[in-house]
Amino acid sequence: MLELYGTKLPSRLLLGTAQYPSPAILADAVKASGASAVTVSLRREMAGGGRGGEKFWSLIQSLRLHVLPNTAGCHSVKEAVTTAKMAREIFGTNWIKLEVIGNHDTLQPDVFGLVEAARILCGDGFAVFPYTTDDLVVAERLLGMGCKVLMPWCAPIGSALGPVNVTALRSMRGHFPDVPLIVDAGIGRPSHAALVMELGFDAVLLNTAVARAAEPVGMARAFGKAVDAGREAYRSGLLEPRDVAVPSTPTIGQAVFQ
């Protein structure tokens, strides 16, 4: 059972709600994935206009899942903090996925603005889920500001590259053994999700790999299974790679025929 800010979630997959071909496909994909929480972009829904936004929110409510609003599209501390406060009023939750984007091409977080925004929001009673890099110093700063969850990227948002720096992710897991770590951004295939879960990460958040798939519902189901498989493999104890062959059948004590 995954516990985030005192809330227990049966699934370790969190799913985004953008870019789906239709609301019906979104609903079916979320159900097929088994996800316990979905992210929602306040800015995107407000841009869609009144009635469209209302219909979308009604759909999300009908799924009866935990909602994690985000500050996607925010490029400054002021934007992110203002958006987070609006989201709390609209969605009725103090959970917020905090994004402060610093680079237009890679959508890499502005880690300086991220830490400052986290300080403000944690002080205002928010349960902050910061979208960050795999930098250990930044992670320490975010925890110092009051964050109890970290969400490092494994590659740029929507790139589908998968883990580009496995060593850094493994190091983050080792440095923060008791902090819930959710890999966010860059997951492109179910095997990517399984890999980061095998590293000991607590959950995976993804969107594009499912929403833009040829069959989003089937892909959502595949990711749900991959996350579960990776977690079970980690808990069961994976064999470390070896540079020599090791026979699966013991030879000591066997009869020798001449």
Which residues are catalytically annotated?
97
DSSP output for 163-175: -S-HHHHHHHHHH
| Helix%, strand%, coil% for the chain, nearest 5 | 45, 15, 40
**Structural element, H or E, at residue 31:** helix 23-33
Do the annotations mark residue 208 as ligand-binding?
Answer: yes
Which residues, listed in sequence order, are joined to residue 16 by a DSSP beta bridge? 39
Whole-angstrom distance, CA of residue 204 vs CA of residue 169:
13
The tokens of 86 are what?
A: 């609006």
Task: Work out the angle at residue 20's Cα, subtended by the Cα atoms of residues 11 and 105, and round it to the nearest 5 degrees.
Answer: 95
Q: Identify whether the C-beta of residue 180 lies closer than 8 Å to the C-beta of residue 213.
A: no
Is the alpha carbon torsion for 14, 63, 98, 9 positive or negative? negative
Q: Is 185 annotated as a binding residue?
A: yes
* Separation between Cα atoms, residue 200 and residue 245, nearest integer Å: 26
- The answer to the question of whether 158 is labelled as a binding residue is yes
Binding residues for 1-deoxy-D-xylulose 5-phosphate: 158, 185-186, 207-208
Residues in binding site: 158, 185-186, 207-208
